[in-house]
Structure 1
Amino acid sequence: MARSISSFSVLEYFSESGGSKCGYCNRSSSSLSHGMWAHVMSAEDYQDLIDRGWRRSGKYVYKPTMHQTCCPQYTIRCHALDFLPNKTHKKVLKKMSKFLAKGDITKGLTDESTMDMNTLPDLLPVQDHLCPDLRDPNISTKEGLQEPSEAIASNQATKTFFGSESKVQKKRTPHPGVGVDPARPLCRKAKDIRRERKRQKLLHGQPEGLKVEPRSSTPSATATASNPPTQHPQAVNRQSKLLEEFISDQGGPDASHHLEVRLVPSSFENAAFETSFEQSAALFAKYQMAIHKDTASECSHDQFTRFLCDSPLEEEHRADGPSEGYGSFHEQFWLDGKLLAVGVLDILPRCLSSVYFYYDPDYSNLSLGVYSALREIALTKRMHHEATDIRHYYIGYYIHSCPKMRYKAQYRPADLLCPESYHWVQVEHCLPLLDKAKYSRFNTDLSAGDDDCPVSLDHVMVLYNRCAMPYNVYQQRWAHSKDEAEVREYASFVGQRCAERMLLYRG
Structure 2
Amino acid sequence: MSSEYYQSLLDRYWRRSGGLFYRPNQREACCPHYTLRLDSSKFHATKDQRQAINRFNKYVAGDEYTKKAARLYPRSREQARKRDMEFDLVERIHEAEAQTLKNPPLPLHKFEVTLEPDVFTEEKYAVFENYQRIVHHEGPDMISRDGFRRFLCSSPLRRGVFRSAEDGKERQLGSFHHCYRLDGKLVAIGVLDLLPDCVSAVYFLYHESIHKWQPGKLGALREIALAMENGYRWWYPGYYIHTCPKMKYKMDYTPQFLLDPDTLKWEKVDDELLALFDSKGYLEMPSHADEEATGPMNGAAASDEEEEVDQDSDNDEHSLFDANMPGIPTLEQMRSVDFDHIPVRLNRGFCFSGDIFQWDDGDISSHGTPKAAIAEMVAAVGTDLITHQTCLDFRRGS
> TM-score per shorter chain, which class?
0.7 to 0.9
Contact residue 163 and residue 171 of structure 2 kept, 8 A: no
Q: Which residue of 2 aligns with 1:328?
A: 175
Q: Which residue of 2 aligns with 1:414?
A: 256
Distance of aligned partners of 1:317 and 1:242 in 2 relative to their CA distance in 1, 3 Å threshold: closer
CA deviation string 1:220-257 (max 9, x = no partner): xxxxxxxxxxxxxxxxxx76x52123212226343211
Q: Which one scores higher on RCO, CA 8 angstroms, separation ≥ 6?
A: 1
Q: Does 1:59 align with 2:19?
A: yes
Q: Which residue of 2 aligns with 1:432?
A: 275
Contact residue 162 and residue 171 of structure 2 kept, 8 A: no
Question: For 1:86, which of 42, 46, 56 is the aligned residue?
Answer: 46
Match runs of 1:233-312 below 5 Å:
241-250=87-96, 252=101, 253=103, 254-267=106-119, 277-312=121-156
Contact residue 103 and residue 257 of structure 1 kept, 8 A: no
Q: Does 1:491 align with 2:378?
A: yes
Which range moves more in the overlay, 489-498 or 243-252? 243-252
Cα offset, 1:487, TM superposition: 1.4
> Unaligned regions of 5+ residues in structure 1, if any?
1-40, 105-237, 268-273, 385-389
Contact residue 14 and residue 23 of structure 2 kept, 8 A: yes
Q: Which residue of 2 aligns with 1:168?
A: none
Contact residue 118 and residue 154 of structure 2 kept, 8 A: yes
Q: Which residue of 2 aligns with 1:446?
A: 291
CA distance in 2, matches of 1:103, 1:489: 62
> Unaligned regions of 5+ residues in structure 2, if any?
65-84, 300-333, 364-368
Distance of aligned partners of 1:283 and 1:477 in 2 relative to their CA distance in 1, 3 Å threshold: same
CA deviation string 1:333-384 (max 9, x = no partner): 0101000100000110111101011001121110000001100111111111
Distance of aligned partners of 1:283 and 1:478 in 2 relative to their CA distance in 1, 3 Å threshold: farther
Q: Which residue of 2 aligns with 1:164?
A: none
C-alpha RMSD over aligned residues: 2.4
CA distance in 1, matches of 2:361, 2:148: 42
| TM-score calculated relative to the size of structure 2 | 0.75
Three-state SS of the structure 1 residue aligned to 2:30 is coil
Which range moves more in the overlay, 496-505 or 45-54? 496-505
Distance of aligned partners of 1:322 and 1:249 in 2 relative to their CA distance in 1, 3 Å threshold: same
Q: Aligned AA for 1:486? A: A
CA deviation string 1:117-174 (max 9, x = no partner): xxxxxxxxxxxxxxxxxxxxxxxxxxxxxxxxxxxxxxxxxxxxxxxxxxxxxxxxxx
Distance of aligned partners of 1:344 and 1:313 in 2 relative to their CA distance in 1, 3 Å threshold: same
Identity %: 37
Distance of aligned partners of 1:243 and 1:372 in 2 relative to their CA distance in 1, 3 Å threshold: same
Q: Aligned AA for 1:293? A: H
Contact residue 37 and residue 258 of structure 2 kept, 8 A: yes
Three-state SS of the structure 2 residue aligned to 1:317 is strand
Contact residue 297 and residue 383 of structure 2 kept, 8 A: no
Cα offset, 1:92, TM superposition: 0.8
| TM-score calculated relative to the size of structure 1 | 0.59
Three-state SS of the structure 1 residue aligned to 2:6 is helix
Kindly report structure 1 stretches of 4+ aligned residues shifted beyond 6 Å. 477-481
Structure of larger gyration radius: 1
Contact residue 53 and residue 419 of structure 1 kept, 8 A: yes
Cα offset, 1:45, TM superposition: 0.9
